[in-house]
Amino acid sequence: MAWIFSLSAECGVYESGANQFAQYFKGKSWLLSNEQKCLCNPEIFQDIEDNWWCRVSPSNLSEVGIVSSESAYLMTELGILLYQSLRFAPPFRYALVGVEVDEFRTYGELIEDLFNLSMPGLVLSETFKKQIGEVSAFRPFSHGYIWQPYAGEIYNPLIASPQLKNKFNELLAVR
């Protein structure tokens, strides 16, 4: 199973919005601190509520998940670059960077959970601000957007290593 690292943005009810968002990221590339070049590969899709999304999956890091502290570092570096570009992207309703963030919440789910959300890196259109009011967890992100600041990616050996997971499960086993 692939663990996709991406930027996922919900662009609303019109496919054209997702297409504009995808065009903005198409061909963007960065050279990371380890000299690895990452090229953005955007694709659009529709969710179960018929809203349009754009997933931007950078090459070379996007399908491996977080398997070491180095990969967490590189994904965090790339996450910061994605957020920097997101500041100037075409309009979207909300977005998040991370591993397996596709359709992290449909619009309906997001509206239901808005008051209880704790999702570092979540960027919301200011139209949500009218619904939630002033919430201390959110800060200005760019013109028309607020966010919960990104906390980076985390390496968890108990998730990355089946051997450690098995040893831990043995520890938890009731005898």
- What tens digit of pLDDT does each residue of 59-90 get? 887 566 788 899 899 999 999 999 999 999 99
Contact, 169 vs 141, CB < 8 A?
no
**What contacts 75, CB < 8 A, 6 or more positions away?**
5, 61, 66, 99, 153
> What residues does each domain of the chain span?
5-172
Q: Is the dihedral of CA 130, 118, 39, 143 positive or negative?
A: positive
Q: How far is CA 148 from CA 97, 113, 136, in A?
A: 12, 15, 9
Q: How far apart are CA 83 and CA 69, in angstroms?
A: 21
pLDDT digits (tens, 9 = 90+) for 116-160: 778 899 999 998 877 766 666 789 999 999 999 999 999 888 877
60, two tokens = 């070379």
pTM of structure:
0.88
Please give the pLDDT value at position 35: 95
- The three-class DSSP label of residue 84 is helix
The Cα–Cα gap between 100 and 8 comes to 9
- What residues contact 171, with CB distance under 8 A and at least 6 apart? none
The radius of gyration computed from the CA coordinates of the chain, to the nearest angstrom, equals 17
